Amino acid sequence: MADLSTTYMGIALKNPVTVAACSLSCKVENILRAEEAGAGALVIRSLFEEQIRHETGELDAALAKGSESYAEALSYFPAISHGEAKEHLFWVGRTREATKMPLIASLNAVSPGNWVAYAKQLADTGVDGLELNYYRVEADMTRDGLSAELQMLDIVASVRASVKLPIAVKLSPFYTSVGNVIQKLDEIGVNGAVMFNRFLQPEIDPDKETVLHEMTYSTSAEMRVPLRWIGLLYGKHSLDMAANTGIMEARDVVKALLAGATVVQVASTLFRNGIGHLTSLRDGLNAWMDSKSYASIEDFRGKLSQQGFEGDSVMFERAQYLDFLMSRQRWVKA
């Protein structure tokens, strides 16, 4: 049996298969089930700004306008009126008492004051780390990319200055330079990057002529985006990278680790296959390591990353792209 243990942001984990923030963690029995099934750690579903504002009576025009952030909150918490901030904090504390498994609390705020205030309160519940779910769809055409990034970095820096716990930022894949954002987070003292957040994609029903904000589960193919970025950036900064989105099977866990991920986070595959699927992810990883005679994760983590690649990464990516396009042309018959 291989040694699957690892550390994520300085937190010791039995294995790198962790549960992503999602509504599975609404119930303590699900969390205990995940622990029993072998989860290395669990990120508790987010505390959303909308819950905070609801509690303080400030849930205002943003709600009526149906901002992107609210749409996400709605799909995760259809009964938002029953999920205010105090209740969430109380419940995170109860979860902490119920399990020894490493727990990470997640926060999705909007206003800078709430980010700091609630990060502190979540830290006081006794969780092992914090995940900042910076979910923002920039729909304002007058705002440029740099100011959007600086706003995010400012907020993260304020939280960093206020709590001692390890902090991960759940990132969007849509930055022009993901690597540069990670480098700046590194300078601020952030410990982990979750790659990547999966934004709610609105759908249109042409028959009813309505916009649907329904949650769909991810597919394996979506894993290619985190895989690429983790592989490109491994070894170039000091953040631990959590691979997230599209990890379905044990082979996907192996791929993420080969690219350089410290842990994987899973949600959709647990909704599809049940919480017990965590056991097959962990055992499948173990079986693969045994078949390759790897004694520990460190023996192969990042083996297929671009660390040590001396050439020009941009040209390398272009070469792969051209190779793909050229070979496609050969396949297609006129």
Ligand X SMILES: Cc1cc2nc3c(=O)[nH]c(=O)nc-3n(C[C@H](O)[C@H](O)[C@H](O)COP(=O)(O)O)c2cc1C
Q: Which of 197, 188, 78 is nearest to 137 (CA)?
A: 197
- Tell me whether residue 133 or residue 172 sits nearer to ligand X (CB atom): 133
From CA 182, how far away is CA 192, in angstroms rounded? 9
Q: How far is the CB of 108 from ligand X (least distance, A)?
A: 6
- Window 287 to 316, contacts with ligand X (CB under 6 A): none
- Integer-rounded Cα Rg, in Å, for the chain is 20
From CA 102, how far away is CA 120, in angstroms rounded? 18
- Tell me whether residue 135 or residue 294 sits nearer to ligand X (CB atom): 135
Q: How far is the CB of 318 from ligand X (least distance, A)?
A: 28
From CA 84, how far away is CA 307, in angstroms rounded? 45
Query: How do 103-108 and 41-48 pair as beta strands?
Result: parallel
| List 11, 21, 74, 171, residue binding ligand X (CB under 6 A) | 21
From CA 236, how far away is CA 238, in angstroms rounded? 7
The 8-class DSSP code of residue 296 comes to B
From CA 258, how far away is CA 256, in angstroms rounded? 5
> Which range binds ligand X by CB under 6 A, 21-29, 50-58, 205-213, 277-285?
21-29
Question: Residue holding tokens 């970095």?
Answer: 153
- Tell me whether residue 143 or residue 272 sits nearer to ligand X (CB atom): 272
| List 54, 88, 160, 198, residue binding ligand X (CB under 6 A) | 198
| List 53, 54, 88, 170, residue binding ligand X (CB under 6 A) | 170
266: contact with ligand X by CB under 6 A:
yes
From CA 123, how far away is CA 93, in angstroms rounded? 10
Q: How far is the CB of 223 from ligand X (least distance, A)?
A: 8
The 8-class DSSP code of residue 295 comes to -
Q: Which of 49, 30, 189, 206 is nearest to 115 (CA)?
A: 49
181: contact with ligand X by CB under 6 A:
no
- Tell me whether residue 228 or residue 236 sits nearer to ligand X (CB atom): 228
- Tell me whether residue 271 or residue 300 sits nearer to ligand X (CB atom): 271
Each residue 229-248 as x (binds ligand X by CB under 6 A) or -, in order, gives ---------------xxxx-
- Tell me whether residue 199 or residue 288 sits nearer to ligand X (CB atom): 199
- Window 74 to 113, contacts with ligand X (CB under 6 A): 76, 106
Other beta carbons within 10 angstroms of residue 326's beta carbon come to 9
Total residues at interface with ligand X (CB under 6 A): 23
Q: How far is the CB of 220 from ligand X (least distance, A)?
A: 9
Q: How far is the CB of 207 from ligand X (least distance, A)?
A: 26
- Residue 26 Cα distances to 49, 102, 173, angstroms: 17, 16, 27
Residues that bind ligand X (CB under 6 A): 20-23, 45-46, 76, 106, 133, 170, 197-198, 215, 218, 244-247, 266-269, 271
